[in-house]
Amino acid sequence: MVYPAGKIVRLLTILIHLCYPLLLSGCWIPENFVAHVKVQRDGGYTFTYDGSLAYAPVLPMAHDGSLTEKDERELRNMAEDLKQETGYREFRYTGKGRFKVFAEKKGLPGEGYHFMSESMKIVSIQPRSDGSLKISGMRPSEEVFKKLRSIGASMTGKLTVSVPWGMQVLDHNAQSEPVFFGLFGGYTWEIDEPDDDPYIIVMPEK
């Protein structure tokens, strides 16, 4: 695929300003996702992500319709390679720079985890020195949200954290909480604004 020099400069400018603030390794953008963390009493957990991931380096071309069949084929091959990595039950290319992803991780007590990586923390599960467990989500800036919209992307999703009844919750900023004395539902965030900064800190039983 060949672009005029001016267009190449514009694409590079978009990608530099998009990827650097997000600190994304590979610049993956979560779209239309449901993420769930189920915490166990001992601090173990199960994490799942069901949704779409958009690959930022090709989104400008996908947005203006200039992705070639060769590009699409390479992206399908990339999906096949990524599907072989531990934790992905599905990693399928669906077109226009998007991938359908279902990921699952079963974590042991005291084991940290970052989806998708240490440098790209869409969802982070991190044990702390006092024995507590902090679960948090990505917080993009308003600038990043504007650049996403300019290339036809969006960062929208839902994060839910479920904890056993009676587990101590030290702090959180969930938009909704479990109901009926904590017996039903979980702590939930709808993620679609730049000031969304989801987090919850819980204390496993010792």
Furthest CA-CA distance within the chain: 62
**pLDDT one-digit tens code per residue, 45-62:** 999 999 999 988 888 888
Identify which of 6-10, 57-61, 114-118, 199-203 has the greatest average pLDDT.
Answer: 199-203
Please report which confidence band the pLDDT of residue 24 belongs to, taking 50, 70 and 90 as the band edges.
Answer: very low
Q: What is the mean pLDDT of the chain?
A: 83
* pLDDT tens-digit series, residues 80-103: 998 888 889 999 999 999 999 999
Across residues 8-34, what is the average pLDDT? Answer: 56
Residue 8 has what pLDDT?
A: 41
How do the domains of the chain map onto residue ranges?
5-203
Asked if 115 contacts 28 with a C-beta cutoff of 8 angstroms, the reply is no
Residue 184: predicted pLDDT: 79
Q: Model's pTM, two decimal places? A: 0.83
Q: Higher-confidence residue: 27 or 31? A: 31
Does the pLDDT at position 27 exceed 90? no
Most confident of 37-41, 113-117, 145-149: 37-41
User: What's the confidence (pLDDT) of residue 67?
Assistant: 86
pLDDT at 19 over 70: no
Q: How confident is the model at residue 18 (pLDDT cuts 50, 70, 90)?
A: very low
- Residue 37: CB partners within 8 Å, gap ≥ 6? 45, 46, 47, 123, 125, 135, 159, 160, 161, 162
Q: Is pLDDT above 70 for 64?
A: yes
